[in-house]
Structure 1
Amino acid sequence: VEITMVNAAALYFKEEFGQSTESAAAIASIFGWMNLFARGVGGFCSDMANAAFVNGMRGRLLVQVLTLLLEGALVLVFATTHTLVGAIFVMMVFSFFVQAAEGSTFGIVPYISPDSTGSISGVVGAGGNVGGVLFAILFREFDYRTAFSVMGVVVMASATLTIPFRISGHAGFLLPCSTEREGRLCGGKNAEDNSRTAKVPDSIIRKMAATATSSYSAAEQQHEEEGDDDVMIEMEHSHDHDDGRMEEQRHEEASSLTHHV
């Protein structure tokens, strides 16, 4: 949606409201400027909902559903607005929810597979580009208002896909955790604060175990080396003691011989 609006908004204001190219471009740029804070607001709201709900992921999904529904509804309003001032205002609000929905989406991404967060983020970003291409075809085949209306309906329909969406180890929008192990992660009536519970990836556990084993082996080897050094020192002390006794014995023999003479 964002890519489509960046490409279509300037032409829309030029052709539908008779603005000059410079004026239409300036108006359309407002859509992009909302990115400065709106996407962060969406992520922040997702974090707050995660902390507020007993099943934290349910809060994040709720934020995503609401932002997508409002985004789609505002596209429909934008398509039916016939005054320049009204269209600019609706576009600003519409842009806010577009960016907020994106922020809420990336608030969910790290939970899908902690070991593959980078790959999943790339797939999510690529999906946005694919949607931009498909909507561009829509604007080529239909007039602006029809294309905007179809786009709004598609966005609102996409919000419903969040409802059955469920991540392993977390409660879904409507569905609870399905296993006892996942239930401890999701929480329940006996959980004190499951919204902050996170599953430690197996790869991190393996790395921690390997590090601990390596540290233990190094410490054990150092202890053995220190023990060997102690044995050598004791042997040297014993040898010195034996040398002292032999010297003393020779001295006593010499004294006895002198006395006998």
Structure 2
Amino acid sequence: MKPNMISNEKATSINLFDFSSIQMRTFHLSWIAFFLCFFGWFSHAPLIKSTIGPDLNLTKEQATIAFIASVGVTIFARLGIGNLCDKIGPRKSYVYLLIFGAFAVAGSSFANTWETYLLSRLAIGVIGASFVITQYHTSVMFAPNVIGIANATTAGWGNLGGGVTNATMPLIASGVAAFGLAEAAESWRIAMWVPAAIMLFVAYLYWKYTTDCPKGNYDDLPEERPQVKKGEKSLFLAAASDKRVWILFLMYAGCFGMELFVTGKASTYYQEKFALSQKAAGFVVLFFGAMNLFARSCGGWIADKFAKGSGLNGRVKILVYVVIAEGVALLVFSRMNALGPAITSMVFFSLFVQMAEGATYSVVPFINRKALGAVSGIVGAGGNVGAVLYAQYLLRTGASLQDAFFTFGFVVSAVGFLGLLIKFSAEDEAAAVEEQKKLEAFNASLENQAAVPAV
């Protein structure tokens, strides 16, 4: 698709500087919305040890439980939001979620006991479902030849919010105290209103500048909405009865689940093991999140390229390779006892974990096209299940974070081999090729029309 050429079909290319087509407007707004949701979701993580914890007299165990609650509730939110996308469309789903998230993040500033703080973290955890909407929306906007990199880039740039929040929330809180808006111990309360306000603004932009699909909104085009024929399983049951969905669920627990766990615990890890300050630890963790700028996109891009010669099963092979590499990189990171090597190995681990996420969602859109929302929701929930299990292991065994990372390295590597059980039929392969040919022919006709001089 050429720059500024508007089509009501899926885009067969990505032009980052095209803001006129609905496909690229959706591309940019979906990653920005996810970035802000991820930022708000993990806004407490870099402040929990040195600011929020002391202010509310939280114990180490309570801090871990709050993390589990915030990540765990997202499991159910992701399952629900996938079905919501199928029913009311991704546009309304995202706007409603952004508004809810804004109130949840801002509302957490009123917590003054352990119980109210736990409730606020549960509410904030719901916005982690934003990932499913992002992947759903880009999946309906882009063609098979670029769907991997489209999904991976929007998700990766959105995930960057987790790294940015670790670096910037301590600065925002410090700024609040420096300007005398609150005492240092309570500066986090006002700081929470910053991401909340921005989320409301993006909710307005999402409502105004996106549509449910390239042709328009589901309310105006009911035929574009996923339909279930009489006698067929519901969309959710159709997705849940496919074993490939649950294998991807486990593999996503191994990659995104691990990223969630590390994002929530890395600042504490560097503060405890290497005696870094809250600000310094947050800056180091920014390197982990910053890999989202390109690493997840790289995983999707490689999967798209590999699929040209090896088809859908080629996408699966790439996924297997990078998940195993992620596990090995985590093992190496867990053995580093000096700051420099620890940061270096963390960056390599981040590279593979995010490539694995990109490769996962290059496969997801082809599992069940009609039940895309349900499949995306179930697989996405797997990431949160993984994060909860990792945190539960830490809480119940009393292991150090370093020893936990070592154990998880073996777990992730083993999970990677499960991908070998994912298979696509010849009919699936043919359907993907046929869809791509039709879209390429459609966009070629648009280019030919544009090339004809006006009379």
Return the TM-score normalized by structure 2: 0.37
Distance across 2 between alignment mates of 1:57 and 1:40: 18
Q: Does 1:92 align with 2:92?
A: no
Distance across 1 between alignment mates of 2:434 and 2:382: 27
Look up the match of 2:319. 64
Tell me if structure 2 keeps the 8 A contact 1:72–1:154. yes
Q: 1:133 to 1:155 in 2, by over 3 A?
A: same
Look up the match of 1:218. none
Distance across 2 between alignment mates of 1:113 and 1:195: 12
Q: Does 1:111 align with 2:366?
A: yes
In structure 2, runs of 5+ residues without a counterpart are 1-257, 437-455
SS class of match (2:327): helix
Look up the match of 2:385. 130
Offset of residue 198 of structure 1: 4.5
Look up the match of 2:433. 197
Number of positions where the alignment pairs a residue of Structure 1 with one of Structure 2: 177
Return the TM-score normalized by structure 1: 0.64
Alignment of 1:46-195 (within 5 A): 46-53=303-310, 56-140=311-395, 141=397, 142-167=399-424, 169-170=425-426, 182=427, 186=429
Q: Percent identity?
A: 37
Q: Give structure 1 regions of 4+ aligned residues with deviation exceeding 3 angstroms.
A: none
In structure 1, runs of 5+ residues without a counterpart are 171-181, 187-193, 201-261
Tell me if structure 1 keeps the 8 A contact 2:313–2:423. no
Larger radius of gyration: 1
Deviation track 1:83-117 (CA, whole Å, cap 9, x = no partner) reads 11111011111111111100100000011101111
Alignment of 1:250-261 (within 5 A): none
Q: 1:98 to 1:198 in 2, by over 3 A?
A: farther
Distance across 2 between alignment mates of 1:145 and 1:102: 23
Amino acid at match of 1:158: V
Deviation track 1:192-223 (CA, whole Å, cap 9, x = no partner) reads xx6962479xxxxxxxxxxxxxxxxxxxxxxx
SS class of match (1:114): coil
Look up the match of 2:259. 2
Distance across 1 between alignment mates of 2:306 and 2:314: 5
Q: Does 1:14 align with 2:271?
A: yes
Distance across 2 between alignment mates of 1:115 and 1:105: 18
Distance across 1 between alignment mates of 2:323 and 2:382: 16
Deviation track 1:128-181 (CA, whole Å, cap 9, x = no partner) reads 1111111111222211222001111111111111011223x25xxxxxxxxxxx
Distance across 1 between alignment mates of 2:285 and 2:262: 8
Amino acid at match of 1:74: A
Tell me if structure 2 keeps the 8 A contact 1:51–1:195. no
SS class of match (2:387): helix
Deviation track 1:228-260 (CA, whole Å, cap 9, x = no partner) reads xxxxxxxxxxxxxxxxxxxxxxxxxxxxxxxxx
Distance across 1 between alignment mates of 2:281 and 2:292: 19
Distance across 2 between alignment mates of 1:111 and 1:18: 47
Tell me if structure 1 keeps the 8 A contact 2:334–2:402. yes
